């Protein structure tokens, strides 16, 4: 009488091979998806427009902080009659904030998307834009 041999070793190896192939497939899938997402992130817009911000009359002798959106573009005192700050556009929409450190007054201005030169003066304690 012949006994049938159990094929447990063969079944165990076949099961391990199936799990190994599944793990390799999942790893390759995640690498592909991460490379695809990096390629999509690199398609961001680079803007060529430049804003020239001229702080003219009334700013001399004071300390100011100038923000564009949420980034500081100037922080210090102005000793000359005119201070020009050039900033490359880095967002789709831009706002300019001029903060007087002595009085903590904030002046907010919307900037157009085309860039250009914008002149500001301080009269009677308020910051105004002198060119449209």
In the chain, domain spans: 1-44, 50-129
- More confidently predicted of 41 and 1: 41
**What is the C-alpha separation between 3 and 55, in angstroms, rounded?**
99
Q: How does pLDDT run across 32-84, given as a tens digit for each residue?
A: 999 888 877 665 667 788 899 988 888 888 889 999 988 899 988 888 878 88
**What is the C-alpha separation between 104 and 83, in angstroms, rounded?**
19
Tokens 């834009």 locate to 129
Fold of 50-129: Immunoglobulin-like (2.60.40)
Q: How does pLDDT run across 76-105, given as a tens digit for each residue?
A: 888 887 888 898 888 888 899 999 888 888
Q: How confident is the model at residue 9 (pLDDT cuts 50, 70, 90)?
A: confident
Q: Is the pTM of this model over 0.75?
A: no
Nearest Cα to Cα of residue 101 among 132, 72, 69: 72
């Amino acid at each position: 009488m012949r006994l049938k041999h159990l094929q447990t070793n063969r079944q165990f190896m076949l099961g391990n091979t199936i799990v190994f192939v599944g793990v390799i497939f999942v790893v390759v899938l995640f690498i592909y998806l991460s490379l695809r997402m990096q390629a999509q992130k690199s398609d961001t817009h680079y803007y060529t427009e430049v804003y020239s911000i001229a702080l003219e009359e009334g700013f001399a002798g004071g300390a100011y902080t100038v923000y564009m959106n949420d980034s500081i573009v100037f922080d210090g005192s102005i000793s000359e009659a005119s201070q020009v700050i050039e900033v490359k556009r880095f967002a789709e929409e831009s706002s300019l904030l001029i903060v007087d450190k002595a009085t903590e007054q904030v002046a907010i201005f919307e900037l157009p998307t085309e860039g250009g030169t914008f002149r500001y003066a301080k009269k009677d304690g308020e910051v105004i834009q002198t060119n449209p």
